Amino acid sequence: MLDTATSEDDTNLLVAIVDTNPLAWQQSATAKIPLSLDDAIRQILLFFNAHMALKHDNKVAAIASHIGHCKFLYPVTDAETHRRQANPSKIAKDANAYPNFKDVNDDIIESLRSLMADTDTPQKNLNDGTSMISGALSMALCYINRITNQDDLGRIKPRILVISVSPDSPYQYISIMNAVFSAQKMSIPIDVCKLYGGEVAFLQQASHITGGVYLDVENPQALLQYLLFSFLPERYARNYICLPNKEQVDFRAACFCHKRIIDIGYVCSVCLSIFCSWSPVCSTCRTKFAFRALPPLAGKGRPAISRTASPAPSTAASPGSSSPMSTA
């Protein structure tokens, strides 16, 4: 689908969500083709530099999706900037490095060090072991909304890139889909680069709904090559090139009752909540469903009664009905 709202003179804003879940990266060390977080960050920083080198006014932002919380890696807050200026790090100065690239790389590395040194993660989040992708998407959309509102000419074209190594978290299904539909309304594509963790149904849906690119990396050690060839082209250039995408999208959903990913479930006709088992009362909107039993079949000594009957009058307490349907 052509993106006619873009131009070759537009400024491109790339907001990258990097999955920094240490538990997932520890499991990736035992994979057939291992890749450490340090090596991945080095390649991601080179990708950021390439994005900024395409055009002088291209912008980049990075958000870490950690266990139980998320944090901006770049840009940093003013308070954090003052703190770093008062306590300069031991990162070596390089006179041959381009200042813009050097500043972005140093800020991201310093933010990652601070993130990994933080041990205040609640125990329940450690037991769950999932990354806060939903929170990172919300932060990315809020940041994009603030930047685009400051652009009076409307020349900034944003997009989101998710670099994921964690599996789906059914507990985040509702918040993830809310963020996805918000991105669709704002015409913000969500690209997904999946390194480890198997197939992720929610991120597949996010990429499909927003018109982004979904790529399952076969060789994680060549991450930079995948990033440059599949995710570096801007939104205007994508109108003229053929990018990889997912042919079959997993449209399964997570039930609202047990937070499990299901194929077939029951949908409330009032609030559209999904449940894995039938219930006479919707636990989300508290709607009570009214049903009429089918009349008995014709038998010996009994006249045939038509099964077609007028529906029972609906009341304020029972405005809807529940029906099984496939979430696909």
Q: Is 259 left (phi over 0), alpha (psi -120 to 50) or beta?
A: left
Digit-coded pLDDT (tens) for 17-63: 999 998 889 888 788 888 999 999 999 999 999 999 999 899 999 99
Distance, CA of 69 to CA of 194 (rounded, Å): 20
Instruction: Report the sign of the C-alpha dihedral through residues 31, 34, 35, 37, in that order.
Output: positive
25 with 37: CB under 8 angstroms? yes
Indicate the burial class of 140 (C-beta count within 10 angstroms; 0-12, 13-18, 19 or more).
buried
Distance, CA of 299 to CA of 303 (rounded, Å): 7
Query: Which of 140, 128, 176 lies closest to 64, judged by CA?
Result: 140
**CA-CA distances (angstroms) from residue 316 to 244, 271, 289?**
50, 15, 11
**CA-CA distances (angstroms) from residue 320 to 254, 270, 279, 307, 310?**
21, 6, 13, 21, 16
pLDDT (tens place) for every residue of the chain, 328 residues total = 556 566 667 899 999 999 999 888 988 878 888 899 999 999 999 999 999 999 989 999 999 999 888 999 999 877 777 676 667 665 566 777 788 899 999 999 999 998 988 766 555 555 566 889 999 999 999 999 999 999 888 889 999 999 999 988 888 888 999 999 999 999 999 999 999 877 788 999 999 999 999 999 999 999 999 999 999 998 888 888 888 877 788 888 888 888 788 888 888 888 888 888 888 888 888 888 876 665 665 555 555 444 444 444 444 444 444 444 444 4
Indicate the burial class of 142 (C-beta count within 10 angstroms; 0-12, 13-18, 19 or more).
exposed
Distance, CA of 91 to CA of 73 (rounded, Å): 16
The DSSP code sequence of 16-55 is: EEEE--HHHHHHHTTSSS---HHHHHHHHHHHHHHHHHHS
Query: Pairing between strand 214-216 and 253-254?
Result: unpaired
**CA-CA distances (angstroms) from residue 130 to 19, 24, 33?**
10, 8, 22
DSSP label of 163: E
- Domains of the chain, each with CATH number or no CATH: 11-239 (3.40.50.410), 252-314 (no CATH)
